[in-house]
A and B are shown apart, each in its own frame.
Chain A
Amino acid sequence: EVQLVESGGGLVQPGGSLRLSCAASEFTFSSYAMSWVRQAPGKGLEWVSALSGSGGSTYYADSVKGRFTISRDNSKNTLYLQMNSLRGEDTAVYYCAKHYSSSPKNVDVWGKGTTVTVSS
């Protein structure tokens, strides 16, 4: 069964940094695009960033461009999200999601999420 397990969330002060990880299993990780999606408390889903299967193409929502960096280590089957200059509005549950192909269009599998709280 395809599985995605996020980790790395926690409490961080405004202006601080955090790195999230998403460990993937039971599929050929390098063949699929991956995304990060977040959900602020009581709010809807917001797409944050995507990465092609090879890692050669990256995409960001305007709200995080220049502050967040998505990357992957295909040898470790792991997706990352480096988050810098964090703000209160970045407080959310962060999910990683697998796309159907190497291009970030259709989504099929989600992880359970990791919680990030930005507060002093």
Chain B
Amino acid sequence: QTVVTQEPSLTVSPGGTVTLTCASSTGAVTSGYYPNWFQQKPGQAPRALIYSTSNKQSWTPARFSGSLLGGKAALTLSGVQPEDEAEYYCLLYYGGAQLVFGGGTKLTVL
């Protein structure tokens, strides 16, 4: 069974920079996994932020960026705002249209 692993929790100061990562149990994450990133706030549906590793949705703030880093997919927030406090999920696509979400990272802005 394929497992996608994210940091369970991270804390960042307002105005700071933080990087969330997304690893696959099958090996290095590449662009062929079409990494997606989503933000979810309590009581709300998820909202798409990044697709195909580094492409932003039209509504994604400029401070969010996606990349590949050390064999993982990564989401970097630069100049963190209080409203960025949320749960963040990555999604990887595996051949045969199997999709697997990471367990989520709870980001605290403190």
Contact = CB atoms under 8 A, between A and B. Distances in A.
Interface in A77-120: 95, 100, 103-113
B96 A107 contact: no
Nearest to B55: A106
B45 interface: yes
| Interface size class of chain A, counting residues whose CB lies under 8 Å from the partner chain | 20 to 34
A27 interface: no
Contacts of A30: none
B51 A110 contact: no
Contacts of B101: 37, 44-47
Contact of A106 (B36, B46, B100): B36
Given A47-B99, A47-B101, A50-B97, A107 B51 contact: yes
Contact of B97 (A46, A59, A109, A110): A59
Interface in A33-76: 35, 37, 44-47, 50, 57, 59, 61-62
B64 interface: no
B48 A107 contact: yes
Interface of B: 1, 34, 36, 38, 40, 45-48, 51-52, 57, 87, 89, 91, 93, 96-104
Interface of A: 35, 37, 44-47, 50, 57, 59, 61-62, 95, 100, 103-113
